[in-house]
Every structure is written in structure tokens, then in C-alpha cells.
Amino acid sequence: MNMKKNKVLNAGIVGLGRWGQVLVKSINHKPSSLLKFTHCYTRTISKVKLFCNEYSLTNCYSYEELINNEDIDLIVLASPHSQHFEQIIKASKAKKHIFVEKPFTLTLSDAIKSIKTSKKYNIKIGAGFNRRFLPSFNYLKKITSTESFGEKIHIEGNFSGPFGYDYKSNMWRGSLSENPSGGMAAMGIHVIDAMISLLGPIEAVQCTSQQLILKQLNIDDTSGVQLWFSSGSTGYLSTLMATAPLWRLHLFGSKAWAQMNGQNEVITSYINGKSNIKKFSKANIERLELESFVQSIVSNNKYPVSYDEIINGVATFEAITNSIKKNGKKVFIKK
């Protein structure tokens, strides 16, 4: 599929829940020179009729109608996790580029098949890991790659929040099939992707997960994972679905450490006693990721999340689920 560089691409979005609406607003609220959401497909259009009118979205009455619309250049998936695989395959065959909200798929085999199919039909795929576009994260990545930081030894992360309190048992986000490892699908997987970007592929995990607070649901709310990287570095990740909001990413080197304290502040400390706190303005990271994906389509710019990283992230997610099922046993990542 050839795209002209000066063309504004039209996108169709699948799923207009809270996050689907965030994605649409990030682009349509202030017109982009690269992308415009024009169509949608959602299960209950009556719930979002006013939103569609406000943001000029035309409703499609089936997924097939959406992907076969010749005016649409790319599909954005903000749908239940378990539906991603089939939707990616169908969109690829319809020759639509695809942007997929995390988790990309729930299993490694589905991730591999999805990417293989997209390549067969010459289709680009982008994964929605918006924290890659935080100015603070890219600053941390830059300074931790310097000689003054030393060898990367260990990383710790936490992404938590009160999201679980809003979930109901009849919601897909509150179901075990869509969230087999507690808050990993909703939150922890963002930290996993950030860790892969900083340290390379993960080769093994060991996870404990419990239901301590959200008794009305059939999912865990408190999870912790030990990680082993192919580079030799180690790591730890925790995520809770029933507490106050927190984002922390802390990378330790042999000469210094650097920490994202929230999403807009980086603290650094060096062996010689020098320390620094750098603050960043809030960025529209949803707009940045979507426009970056469009640029990868129209001008072959490299999208920051590679296919190998997508696959390792899904394999890690699946291994965490398997470790929980095996009562916290160490599980090696499939390749």
C-alpha cells in the first residue's frame, strides 16, 4: 500500500470505551497534519452517539464494514485484548495498516502469526506503548547509555493505580480471560516495554500474584515479578490495581542510578555524590505515538517499538501468566 507523504491519513477505531475516546481526542481535538479519525466500530453505539457527533466519527455496523471501507487507511484497535489477533489478521488481509493498543496479543503464537501475516500483505503494525514518547523516558534512556553511568546492573519499576475500583464483573476489563495476570495487562506491561527498551530482551520471569482487595472480581489486584534479562541484568516489577496512582522506573548502573519519579521527573545520583532533578512538561504522548506510526507508514521512519520488542513483550506477558498458574515458579521466555 503506497501512501503519499502529504496526505492526511484516515483512521478507523475499534472500541470507543474510555481509552478509545482518549485516542480520538488526542488527534481530532486539534487537527493533525498526519492523521484524522473518521470512522468507528463499537459494540453499543447508543452510549457514544454524542461523542461521535462531537468528533465527526461515522459509525460502522460491523468490523468488516470498517476494514473494507476504501476511504480508511489504517485501523486502530482499542478493543478487548482477546480480539486483537483475529482483528489484526482480517485488517492485514484488507490491506489496512494497524495500530494495536497493549497488550498486542495474549499469546506469543498469536503475536508471531500476526506479524507474519502483516508482512505477507506489506502492512505496517504499531504497538501502543505511549510511555516510549515521554520526554522524561527518552532523557533517562540517553543518560543511562553514557560511560559516566557505567554498566547497567538492575532495574525496578512500579505502575499502580485505583483502576480496579471502577471495574465490574460484567466488564471485559474486569474478567480473568482478558486480564490473566492481575494489573499486568492494564499497567505493568507498559513498564515491561520500557525495561525492554532500556535493557534488551527478557529471558525469564518469576511472578506472585494475589487478590487482596477487589473481592467482587475474579482477578488479582497485587502482583510482583522478578525478571532476568539476556544481557545479564536483573529486574523487579510490581503493579497494584487498588491503591493511589504511581509510576516509578529506577535503573541502577555501576557508577550511578537514574529514576523516573512519576512520568515527568527524572532523578539522577552518581557515586561521586553529584545528583540532579530534571522536570519535564506534560506531553500528549497518545498523539505523538499515533503520528510517529503514521510517519513510519508514509516515509519509512522507524517506529520506536520494533517487532522483536513486541514479540518479547508478549512472550514475557505470557510467561508471567504461566508463572502465576505454576504458583510462582520461574518460567523461561519462549522464542
Tens of pLDDT along 74-111? 999 999 999 999 999 999 999 999 999 999 999 999 99
pLDDT bin (cut points 50, 70, 90) of residue 152 is very high
- Cβ partners under 8 Å of residue 75, min gap 6: 11, 12, 13, 14, 66, 67, 87, 91, 96, 97, 98, 99
9-19 confidence digits (pLDDT tens): 999 999 999 99
- 63 by DSSP, 3-state: which? helix
In the predicted structure, residue 1 carries a pLDDT above the cut 60: no
Which pLDDT score, from 0 to 100, does residue 3 have?
59
Mean pLDDT of 253-275: 97
pLDDT bin (cut points 50, 70, 90) of residue 300 is confident
Which pLDDT score, from 0 to 100, does residue 330 have?
98
